[in-house]
Amino acid sequence: MSRTDSPTVVLVHGAFADASSFARVVPELLDRGLKVVAPAVPNRSLLGDSAYLASVVRQIPGPVVLVGHSYGGAVITVAGTEENVKALVYLAGYALEEGESLGELQGGFPDSDLARALVYTPFPLEGSPAEGTDVSVRVDEFHGVFAADVDPALTAVLAVSQRPLAAQAFGEKAPAAAWRTKPSWGLVAAADRTINPEVERHGYRRAGMTTVEVDSSHLVMLSHPERVADLIEEAVRAVR
């Protein structure tokens, strides 16, 4: 297969982060001759974010491999039903079942350390007198809970530049589960304190994914970029 016809890797960030969380993975993928797109996810609602990502995917010519980190896993679960998506890769991510919400999936397992480190902040909703709620991680807890094996100087920057997740996203149910029809790979961050690793294992097992485990914090893309790139490349090779 020529590079023109080879899959484009679309990197989907999660909550409390943005596309820069893939800063160490992108060079790895580009050096391997892969095409990469890393869009900014609004992090406003599961349905809205999935629709936005689907619109990005539809505009990419040729096949796509969707890679979702954390909440981004839930987003690719829905958006991955787009016709040109050929594979899914989950990085410490939520692999929702059709009709399941983030809250329901998490609720079946003990809370991670994230639960005690969250901050809830109101924000105005355009065209509505009601308010929404942004969810973020306490700055002083960010390194230990989210990125314990990442350079503290870097996590200090990440902690004050978070992209919050609107609370609405936790309750919305996935209208589809793309892993039912698309080959999928999953990486468990075994030292994750943001998502209980058992949540990751459960979702991956249920989906019948090819799964690897890495002794990593939640931000595995920054602490183990080569391992992440290897898994993504495996998925790309499988659909070529």
Please say if the pLDDT value at position 65 is more than 70. Answer: yes
pLDDT range class, residue 1, cuts 50, 70, 90: very low
Domain range summary for the chain, segments of one domain joined by +: 8-239
Which carries the bigger pLDDT value, residue 6 or residue 14?
14
Judge contact between 172 and 45, C-beta under 8 A. Answer: yes
How much is the pLDDT for 24? 98
Given this structure, which CATH class describes domain 8-239? alpha beta
Residue with tokens 């079942």: 97
Whether residue 203 is predicted with pLDDT greater than 60 in this model: the reply is: yes
Q: Are 12 and 39 in contact (CB under 8 A)?
A: yes
In the predicted model, is pLDDT for residue 45 greater than 70? Answer: yes
Residue 140, amino acid: D
Asked whether the predicted pLDDT for residue 3 surpasses 70, the reply is: no
- pLDDT value for 94: 98
pLDDT digits (tens, 9 = 90+) for 173-199: 999 999 999 999 999 999 999 999 999
Residue percentage of the chain with pLDDT more than 90: 95
How far apart are the C-alpha atoms of 189 and 218, rounded to whole Å? Answer: 6
What is the number of other CB atoms lying within 10 angstroms of the CB of residue 152?
11
pLDDT at 240: 85
